[in-house]
A and B are shown apart, each in its own frame.
Chain A
């Protein structure tokens, strides 16, 4: 697609303009423009090293962009004086390796930020924690430590931890890549339920079948650039760019 400035629509919740990220001698992102609408589910696919994760991590500034701007729900989060801790409360993130706090129970993991960031009272935080853990199907595991849970359960706790903050958007960085194939389904069904509730989601994933089923839009990235994007039918059935075709044939045949 063309790398011009996108028209900013009213319903755009994420607007990324001219985003670049360079490491010492590596250009990880090169002038990326992207907007995401409220309640949209966007999948980012592409070979490893294509900049997908870097792009995602720039959106909550775990990664510091070299150039460009990102605004979320009207706030330009790449501004210098911005309160990052405030901004991040609106952006839930789910990691490939779950990153649960090993020294806390499932409920402890979920309520920590409610208590320390949202300043909720103990009972209120607990209620909220129980609600989100029920939503991800883990009402019976609240007292379990991460080491006592399966990978799928851990990832669902991690999703609950992010959901508890009632974020405006959710970022998923390869949420099922570290999972046993048998455990992928339970995580995907939680994500499906979030989608049905209208959560805006940006998902970096290699789950092509899930993308085909759940995506409103699929973005193919390669070498730090958005090569092609469109509805899943278009990208998966009739990709226009040779690099997309090559990538997909490799992914779908293995």
Chain B
């Protein structure tokens, strides 16, 4: 028991590692925020564009979505970091990770938003069009707001599961939370900083998880 406390809950090492871990936490938060905002907005834009039913455009959207949903995010990240420089494209590790996660989340979010757009009743289109509203106006003012409401609960779940991948950035040497914790663990020859990092991850994502359950309840009845 003593050994468990010494190795995993060593307050002294946790305290010493805290400043570095907090720095890492900030980067993880930044990365998460960029992923969520960028991914959700891009996903929504793609879904709305897809509703315009322009054949060539839809082809590219569908290919993009399928490819980015099929490849593990880690593979995309490694490719962006180690592969793109051969094409003369050099992006900082942080932005490699950010770009990867934004694109992965955008692909997933597009699917979710698109499902929402199709789920809006035909009668809504007809009612709007019958008052002289154009296709695009109807899409923007009538259909998309309803689609967003429909998909908020499934979307928050996807957002959480994609955003958790922010920890992958440690692989390309971004000094985010996990990376700092691994380094600290090496320095102190003690895994307690990892425990602390795990607690911090819970701190970030637990509110999101609760928030998503709350939304699920809230949007369960109306619509």
Contact = CB atoms under 8 A, between A and B. Distances in A.
B142 A101 contact: yes
A162 B137 CA distance: 17
B134 interface: yes
Interface residues of B, number: 20
B129 A88 contact: yes
A116 interface: yes
Interface in B186-221: none
A62 B130 contact: yes
Interface string B130-166: 1111100100011001100100000000000000000
Contacts of A147: 222
B149 A161 contact: no
A116 B137 contact: yes
Contacts of A113: 128, 131-133
Contacts of B137: 116
B54 interface: no
B124 to A, nearest CB: 6
A238 interface: no
Contact of A103 (B126, B132, B133, B146): B146
B145 A117 contact: no
A80 interface: no
A34 to B, nearest CB: 20
Given A60-B130, A88-B132, A147-B222, A99 B124 contact: yes
Nearest to B121: A99
A14 to B, nearest CB: 16
A26 to B, nearest CB: 19
A15 to B, nearest CB: 20
Interface of A: 60, 62, 85-86, 88-89, 91-93, 95, 97, 99-103, 112-113, 116-117, 147, 158, 161-162, 165
6 contacts: A62-B126, A89-B132, A102-B223, A112-B131, A113-B132, A161-B127
Q: Which 9 A-B pairs have CB atoms at the shortest separation, nearest pair first?
A: A99-B127, A113-B131, A99-B123, A89-B132, A93-B130, A117-B132, A88-B132, A85-B132, A103-B145
Interface of B: 121, 123-124, 126-134, 137, 141-142, 145-146, 149, 222-223
Given A99-B126, A165-B131, 11 more contacts: A88-B129, A92-B130, A100-B127, A101-B146, A102-B222, A103-B146, A103-B149, A112-B131, A113-B131, A117-B133, A147-B222
